[in-house]
Amino acid sequence: MSLSLFSFIFAMWVLIIIGGGLMVVFIGPLSFSGDGDLDPLINSGAKVLIAMVLIFIWVIALLKIKNWIFRKITQS
């Protein structure tokens, strides 16, 4: 039981580190051109949208791992 729990915690931290690294490396330097005053707003909005999608994917992945681990524990 404790091995499954530790593997879940390890997977959680790995996903957090990978997600943070991806956001810094790929999303940070993104730049979209716009018309004058709207340019920073478009850049920020696009970056927020991409970050929210990645966070959603990470949360779904963690939920799948958690459900798999706890289903395995309850069947034992």
pLDDT tens readout for residues 41-76: 778 888 889 888 888 988 898 888 788 877 887 887
Please tell me the predicted confidence (pLDDT) of residue 51: 84
Q: What is the pTM of this model?
A: 0.65
| Whole-number Å distance between alpha carbons of 67 and 46 | 32
Give the count of beta carbons closer than 10 Å to the beta carbon of residue 49: 11
| Whole-number Å distance between alpha carbons of 59 and 21 | 16
- Give the total residue count for the chain: 76
Widest pairwise Cα distance in the chain = 62
